A and B are shown apart, each in its own frame.
Chain A
Amino acid sequence: MDVKQMKEEAIKAIEAAETLEQLEELRLEYLSKKGKIQALMMMMKDLTPEEKPKFGQIVNETKQAVTELLESKVEELKKAGLNAQLEKEKIDLTLDAYTPRIGSLHPLTLVQRELEDVFIGMGYNVAEGPEVELDEYNFTRANTPEGHPARDMQDTFYIDVNHLLRSQTTAIQMRELEKQANSLPIKVVCPGKVYRRDDDDATHSHQFMQCEGLVIGENITVADLKGTLELMIKELFKKDAKIRFRPSYFPFTEPSFEVDMTCHVCGGKGCPTCKGTGWIEILGSGMVHPNVLEMAGIDSKKYTGFAFGVGLERLAMLKYGITDIRDLYTNDVRFLSGFKK
């Protein structure tokens, strides 16, 4: 059989094959031990020594050509087959996704964490104290002795003559002042639950949370307080906000200020959130009263400091647009689940 003719037949057949099975048959027909090309090789023994090399070369070339073509055709068909398979696996991508169940941190935790992290970043520590507190730390040390009119400002839950549920996290500050009187400076934030004899409604809660901050050192000024608070608000609301001080009164600071920030919703232009004023009342603050320092054993001639206190519910309500404080304590999972981390 003419080698050239066989090669052409083989190529034609391979190119015409449509399935892997057909190709396998062709492989057996031409390339197996009993195949046509092997049969040609068998013919070599009948040739002259002069003819042998040339014929061998032709057969080998033929074998190589057929093999390569076959292999490439196999690859081609496999690829086409896989593509066909993949096409069959086409799915509707618009169907609902699988959603792993993600829990939620309570909004008060979120706000507290943010505050803590801002201040930890500035080198503050986080201090805590008992909720069942001594009158001494809640009031007396805070420059609010028995009979002081400011005691009337807060209706307090008393347990006995000396014990109460703390009405302000100022009590933690008073403990920190005493604890750290001999290891100044002090830089702490004091988050915690507090309690007052208020009937619960949309804006009042007998239980709520505060976070106070306290810095005691040499040469601390009101300007330092302002700078610190501006930084805090910028971090919390992720916006540059101006703040303004309004004179106020707290027994444990002198001078005392209410602090307003430019409304985070309208940026100060006036909107329903800020009742058109452009300002949002955010916290109380002031320079620590010398009496408070002296009671804790700190020389008020040498050291000064500032303190501030913010309501966590108020922050959470402002930040997340919560309109009823009771929602924070009802624990409805439909509400809670809105606060993914």
Chain B
Amino acid sequence: MLLSLNWLSNFVDISDLTNDEIKEKLVKAGFEVESEEHLGLGTNLIVGKVIECHDHPDSDHLHVTKVDIGKEVLDIVCGAPNCREGLKVIVAQVGAKLPGGEIKAGVIRGQSSNGMLCSLKELNITEEMLAEDSPSRNGIEELDDTFEIGETDILSKLGLEDTIYDISIYANRPDCLGVFNMCREVAAILDKPIRLPEYEGAAEIGKESSLKIVSESANCTHFLGKVVNNVTIKESPKWMKDHLRANGVKAINNLVDISNYVMLETGQPLHFYDLRTNPNREITIKDDLSGKYMALDGIEYEIEKGDLMITSNNEPIGIAGIMGGENTKILEDTTGLIIEAALFDHAQIRRTANRLGLQTEAAARFAKGLEPLSQNKAMDRAVQLLIELADAKDFEKTVEYGKVDYKPYEIEETVEHLNALIGKEYTVDEAVRVMERLQFKVRKEGNKFYTEIPSSRASDLKIREDIDEEIVRLTDFDSLVSTLPQMPQTVGALTPVQSARRIIRNLFTDNGMNETYSYTLVSQKHVDEACMPLGEAIALQSPLSEERKYVRNSLMNSMIESLAYNVAHGNQNVNLFEISTVYAKEKEGERVGIILSGNFSESKALHNKVEADFYVLKGLVYEMLESLGYHKERINLTENDLDTVHFHPYQSCVLKIGDKTIAILGKMHPNYISDIKIAGAYYAEIALNELMEIAPQKVKAPVINRYPSVSRDLSLLVDDETTAASIIKAIKKSGGKMVKSVEVFDIYKGEHIAEGKKSISFTIVYESLEATLTAEEVNKLHTKVVEELNRMFNANQR
């Protein structure tokens, strides 16, 4: 909301306050001044008269002038085509600071120049703000005879000296989108009296009207129309043009200007139709039209069903609430009007304005909502100004479609409740005083006070807490004490899944990995190519782009993107993990993703490194499960029958606990990551929500054996297909409870080993919890184990 301080000064005396003081008070009351503009800008300006003007000898467009500024005569070179002898001009003297820079004395093509003759454009006035016939459009400004040579108060006299605040308005205060209400608010904040124009009831004049108004749409519930048979079109007075300009609205003629001005004052958009274009005196609001329609900006817009349209005689005459029509607009020879002040549904106006890309001042105000009496107030003010500035005569009575029946209501509040909510000690008189500053009617009864809510605040003030906020806003609040809630003790704690996430994050970062956060919204390809997809992906109704159209149903492709980004930016040895929820239709899951490439750990100083491979990945997954209470013994690695498109078919597997699929892990299929310039990548995706449904083991202290253990090494020659796990399982089975542990320490294929065979070596540790094992006992057991292995795996002991 733009607020001109000149305009404000018409109603409120702010002469005793500095700019910073006003802004500070506004901020504390909930109105932040987001930015501040100065209309005209320029120092060291003085009125001068061109007493000589010759063509520059070395230029086809420059003039060499002598300008009388009273105290002296200056030589100034000027390029404006309208520069001529006898002209009164704005002179920026040497040292003047203008938006474009500082004026310096100089020599232009051999002619000395000690100042500049100015266009208003050089004094911060934009081209759009200039009148059509302003000399400043193509040259320097031409001052009239009211200006005296040597005068310096130029900007103020031109109405160009003004400070304009851009104030942010919260959604609950659409009333402040009108200057009258905004100024009333500022007066309350500054605790100052205010004088606003009196205009209510001004439209209650005129003879019987033949105008008929009907709404066929539920989105237009109130419509005031008024015929004015006789108006005189002319230029608006300077004060009006100044205020319009300060608000960024271009002055056109008194009729158009009045409709804009009343909108700025009251917040209610108005529209004036040329009376000649509506011979039937009939207006119908429809919302079932479609087709092209040319608005008064001369552009054709595509109208759809649902858009509110003003029609007459079944022909559209304006896009309701957004912009009038080309076919009914005010022309230079207009002599009669129909005034429209209507209420259109804010959501529909917003939809239409957004779709058409037509963000007008009117549309913005409708979209934010209007007060109940808005149409009546604006009609009154428009009639008053038409009489005053357009010699309006021969009015007809206002015709009303729908009804507005606003009855002010009272809100009851007590200081006890106020103080209990806020934690301060207000008296009832302090509270009442705030209501009076806001110009609310208020009465007190003991510690109670009753506030009557006017139409302008009806949408915001409904309950006693709303009243409390007004008091808080307008009184000193910095002195509020700080306390902590007095309430029964509660125990704060993380839930099991929240704790699990912390454990996982700590484990992986302790092992050198970086945690990532990637976007939930992804492309179609991402969800089509998902890893263990949770289900059918959810699509957005109106995505920002194709890249961000679906809610992801797995993490894999996000992690591949993160990897690819890093590789493309020269980062090697990328080891990442992420924890995030994923979604599918009717489903929610939580996933942990791990992606590894290059070296998992590396120390150049010690000349050692661990390359990321399947076993590093597996180790991380197992350690994660172990940390969460799921021991190795419960984990089954099974063949990857889920996904060999994204995973290497022979270096990937599915991890289960019981029958539940918990994770998929393995080397990524080279085809799937062929775009990334890396040797290989390893990926695991773990369904954390599935895992958390399984009860973890409780921590139990390990038993330390008091008797020594005995180890025996064993090398077997077996078929290449035989897995280590199957041999270990067999060793444990045949060795029974005396086998404490079995570990693979070597696998060998190649020279001296037949094709299709491998040598695999184990260390078996035997122990007994009851006694020290003798050599004979161990030998006997070991021989039994070896014989069993030979039988089962057709193995040869080496």
Contact = CB atoms under 8 A, between A and B. Distances in A.
Interface of A: 95-106, 108-109, 113, 116, 119-126, 128, 130-132, 147, 149-150, 152-153, 157-160, 165, 185, 187, 193, 195, 197, 199, 206-207, 215, 217-224, 226-228, 230-231, 244-249, 251, 254-256, 287, 289-291, 304, 328-334, 336-337, 341
Interface string B469-492: 100110001101111111111111
Given A149-B171, A149-B346, A123 B489 contact: yes
Contacts of A152: 171, 350, 367-368
Contacts of B172: 149-150, 249, 251
A131 B484 contact: no
B153 interface: no
A120 B492 contact: yes
A101 B600 CA distance: 9
B562 A331 contact: yes
B427 interface: no
Contacts of A187: 485, 487, 490, 492
B420 interface: yes
B490 A98 contact: no
Contacts of B723: none
A281 to B, nearest CB: 10
B591 to A, nearest CB: 13
B420 A332 contact: no
Contacts of A222: 421-424, 472, 480
Contacts of A132: 538, 551, 583, 588
A121 B481 CA distance: 22
Interface in B148-176: 170-174
A121 B492 contact: yes
A286 to B, nearest CB: 9
B703 interface: no
A254 to B, nearest CB: 4
A207 B581 CA distance: 14
Interface in B421-436: 421-424
B171 A109 contact: no
Interface string B511-525: 111111111110000
Contacts of B542: 157-158, 197
Contacts of B512: 100-103
A290 B463 contact: yes
A5 B358 CA distance: 124
Interface of B: 27-30, 32, 170-174, 346-347, 350, 367-369, 420-424, 463, 465-466, 468-469, 472-473, 477-478, 480-495, 498, 502, 505, 508-521, 538-544, 548, 551, 562, 565-566, 569, 571, 574-576, 581, 583, 588, 601-603, 605-606
19 contacts: A100-B603, A101-B511, A120-B492, A123-B492, A132-B551, A150-B171, A165-B520, A165-B540, A193-B520, A207-B521, A219-B420, A222-B422, A226-B423, A246-B30, A246-B32, A255-B473, A329-B518, A331-B566, A332-B565
- Residue picked from B539, B562, B601, most chain A C-beta under 10 Å: B562
Contact of A223 (B347, B422, B478, B492): B422
A106 B369 contact: no
A123 to B, nearest CB: 4
Contact of B463 (A123, A150, A193, A254): A254
Given A254-B465, A333-B576, 18 more contacts: A96-B605, A101-B601, A120-B492, A120-B494, A125-B492, A149-B368, A150-B172, A165-B521, A165-B551, A185-B487, A207-B520, A222-B423, A227-B483, A246-B28, A247-B28, A331-B517, A331-B562, A332-B565
Given A122-B492, A246-B28, A223 B515 contact: no
Contact of B548 (A126, A206, A218): A206
Contacts of A247: 28-30, 469, 472-473
Lowest 9 A-B CB distances belong to which pairs?
A223-B423, A247-B30, A101-B512, A221-B423, A255-B469, A103-B509, A249-B170, A227-B482, A120-B492
Query: Of B422, B514, B516, B569, which is in contact with the most chain A CB atoms at under 10 Å from its CB?
Result: B514
A332 B516 CA distance: 9
A248 B463 contact: no
Given A152-B350, A221-B420, A329-B517, A158 B463 contact: no
Nearest to A340: B509
A319 to B, nearest CB: 16
B509 A217 contact: no
A167 B665 CA distance: 34
Given A123-B489, A149-B369, A330 B421 contact: no
Given A193-B520, A331-B562, A254 B514 contact: no
Nearest to B422: A222
A290 to B, nearest CB: 6
B606 A98 contact: yes
B516 A199 contact: no
B533 to A, nearest CB: 15
A332 B569 contact: yes
- Output the residue of A132, A256, A291 with the most chain B CB within 10 A: A132
Contact of B565 (A113, A199, A331): A331
B571 A328 contact: no
A98 B605 contact: yes
Contacts of A197: 542, 544
A206 B544 contact: yes
Centre residue among B485, B490, B508 by max chain A CB count within 10 A: B485
Nearest to A291: B463
A223 B498 CA distance: 31
A116 B499 CA distance: 12
Given A230-B482, A249-B171, A254-B465, A120 B515 contact: no
B608 to A, nearest CB: 10
B605 A97 contact: yes
B514 A336 contact: yes
Given A206-B548, A223-B424, A255 B465 contact: yes
B421 A159 contact: no
B492 to A, nearest CB: 4
Contact of A246 (B27, B493, B510, B521): B27
B594 to A, nearest CB: 12
Contact of B173 (A97, A217, A249): A249
A182 B391 CA distance: 68
Contacts of B421: 221-222, 287, 304
Contacts of B581: 130-131
B468 A255 contact: yes
Contacts of B491: 123
A244 B478 contact: yes
Nearest to B492: A120
Contacts of A341: 509
A290 B465 contact: yes
A188 to B, nearest CB: 9
A32 B502 CA distance: 71
B520 A131 contact: yes
A124 B513 contact: no
B587 to A, nearest CB: 9
Nearest to A125: B492
Chain B CB count within 10 A is highest, among A122, A147, A333, A334, for A333
B30 A248 contact: yes
B541 A333 contact: no
Nearest to A108: B517
Given A126-B495, A185-B487, A222-B422, A105 B517 contact: no
Nearest to B423: A223
A256 B484 contact: no
Contacts of B493: 120, 125
B492 A330 contact: no
Contacts of A206: 519, 521, 544, 548
A304 B465 CA distance: 11
A328 B515 CA distance: 11
Contacts of A254: 463, 465-466, 468-469
